[in-house]
Structure 1
Amino acid sequence: MHRADDQDTLDLVRAFMSMNVTLILVGVDILGSGLLRQGRFDEGTRQWVLPPSQHARVHGLEATQTERRFDLVELDRFRYTTPAQIAAFHDHLAGLQANLRLLKAPPDMLTGAGMPEYLMRRTDGVVGLLERLIEDGCQEAMDSGHETLDETLLDDVVLSLDDPDRDAQAGEVPAIPGSSRPHTARPAANDRRRGRNTVFDDQGPYGQAGG
């Protein structure tokens, strides 16, 4: 909470709480971020209570104590220990898989063989890392003509969250597990096949690609 934007965010959240609506706010590592540092946890109601917002006072939106309360629901990363945890991760992978359009993808591309265990090892169950890995992997699969995701291809995808707007000290840069083998250089652009039509693929009546 050392940046001006952080303080503005806290003030905005408190202003929202004075509105007669139900809001669902989503964030990462709320407890570690310091966002609740000025609040207190009410053991009786099992809710967090924040002091009134200066912004709300100025605009005549002073909230009651009840309206300043909110529930914190933690949605942790995926785990891979119990049968229920494993099933939940597999269900998520199946949902991702159903929306991928790689031309040589088998039906169990993300859920078969050892892929679930591999993806868990690469991302530690963090949804943002998982989807970044899948997204970058799909781009590489299309660019290279491989048109499917497997461990060999994904091992060459280096997860990176390099972003000057992220503050590592505020917990905005999660630890990224490494790949299962050293990174190898990708082929140069002029060594790759002609670009894939990423909008629509139709073999046409004579088996020729068309769009």
Structure 2
Amino acid sequence: MDLPELIHQVAASLSDHGTKVLILDDITRLRMHRADDQDTLDLIRAFMSMHVTLVLVGVGIPGSGLLREGRGPAAAKSVNGWEPTQTERRFDLLELDRFRYDTAEQITAWTSHLAGVEHHLRLLKARPGMLTDNTMPEYLYERTNGVVGPLERPIEDGCSQAIASGSERLTEPLFDALPLTLARTGRDAEAGEIPAVPARSGRRPPAGRRRNTVFDDLGPAAADTA
């Protein structure tokens, strides 16, 4: 199919399925010097005229040139006379930084994220608080610097190791035995998908920056049995 035919087929499919939101991940893998990627960007622009909310997800979108009609990294500058393009005006840019560990709110957000990850793990000997009790939040923050990508990797590898060894749970000693690398994971380094992985320093966050311990509170029932 040529581009108009492809657009027609996509529009028909979105309509037939009642699609309301279309999410395109890894959008910054597009390279504007490649003709095929320019055609892909034209297809994305065509989505804007369809009755669907378009969400583009990527690393370093302002510097990719995608919202600047493909003019490259220099187009990300908002000075020297650059004016927003028609494409850029149609999008709201939302920047999500890595997790931080400096305030009570930031520590709670990190621990809440770990609790969400933990909820979806299906290890036979997993227990509530496996990733949120004791020093585990601080340990994982030290290993990953609060970046979600490096966090996913040791958890995935850790689960595989826990199943293979029969331990069926995640622990700090298990994580210690696993190297943290994002190589050979299908991530595109040129698109900024491989962040710097912090070296092991053996240092934990200062005691004054410990997380909110709400996830350690077992409630009145535990106090009654103590």
TM-score by length of 1: 0.64
Q: How does 1:164-203 map to 2 (within 5 A)?
A: 166-179=187-200
**Cα deviation, residue 106, structure 1:** 3.2
What residue number does 2:90 align with? 69
**Cα deviation, residue 20, structure 1:** 3.5
**Distance in 2 between residues matched to 1:174 and 1:18, nearest whole Å:** 35
Matched, 1:136 2:154: no
What residue number does 2:123 align with? 102
**Distance in 2 between residues matched to 1:140 and 1:16, nearest whole Å:** 43
**Cα deviation, residue 111, structure 1:** 0.4
Q: How does 1:34-53 map to 2 (within 5 A)?
A: 34-38=65-69, 49-51=84-86
What residue number does 2:220 align with? none
What residue number does 1:26 align with? 57
**Distance in 2 between residues matched to 1:148 and 1:180, nearest whole Å:** 25
**Distance in 2 between residues matched to 1:49 and 1:20, nearest whole Å:** 23
Amino acid at match of 2:100: R
**Cα deviation, residue 167, structure 1:** 4.2
CA gap of 1:16–1:87, structure 2 versus 1, over 3 A, is same
Structure 1 gap ranges (5+): 53-64, 182-211
Amino acid at match of 2:54: L
Partner of 2:93, secondary structure, is coil
**Distance in 2 between residues matched to 1:145 and 1:27, nearest whole Å:** 37
Partner of 2:181, secondary structure, is coil
What residue number does 1:13 align with? 44
Say if 1:32 and 1:170, in contact at 8 Å, map to a contact too.
no
Partner of 1:159, secondary structure, is coil
Instruction: Return 97-106 or 72-81, whichever deviates more.
Output: 97-106
Partner of 1:24, secondary structure, is strand
Q: Larger % of helix: which? A: 2
Amino acid at match of 1:30: I
Say if 1:155 and 1:180, in contact at 8 Å, map to a contact too.
no
Amino acid at match of 2:61: I
Bigger RCO (CA 8 Å, 6+ sep): 2
Q: 1:44-69 CA distances to partner (integer Å, 9 max, x unpaired)?
A: xxxx95457xxxxxxxxxxxx9xx61
CA gap of 1:6–1:79, structure 2 versus 1, over 3 A, is farther
**Cα deviation, residue 28, structure 1:** 2.1
**Cα deviation, residue 81, structure 1:** 1.1
- Across the two proteins, how many residue pairs are aligned to each other? 162
What residue number does 2:12 align with? none
Say if 1:102 and 1:138, in contact at 8 Å, map to a contact too.
yes
**Distance in 2 between residues matched to 1:151 and 1:73, nearest whole Å:** 34
Partner of 1:70, secondary structure, is coil
Amino acid at match of 1:100: L
**Cα deviation, residue 94, structure 1:** 0.8
Say if 1:103 and 1:148, in contact at 8 Å, map to a contact too.
yes
Say if 2:144 and 2:197, in contact at 8 Å, map to a contact too.
yes
Partner of 2:129, secondary structure, is coil
CA gap of 1:143–1:165, structure 2 versus 1, over 3 A, is closer
**Cα deviation, residue 3, structure 1:** 4.9
Structure 2 gap ranges (5+): 1-30, 203-226
**Distance in 1 between residues matched to 2:194 and 2:147, nearest whole Å:** 12
- Measured on the aligned residues, the alpha-carbon RMSD in Å equals 3.0
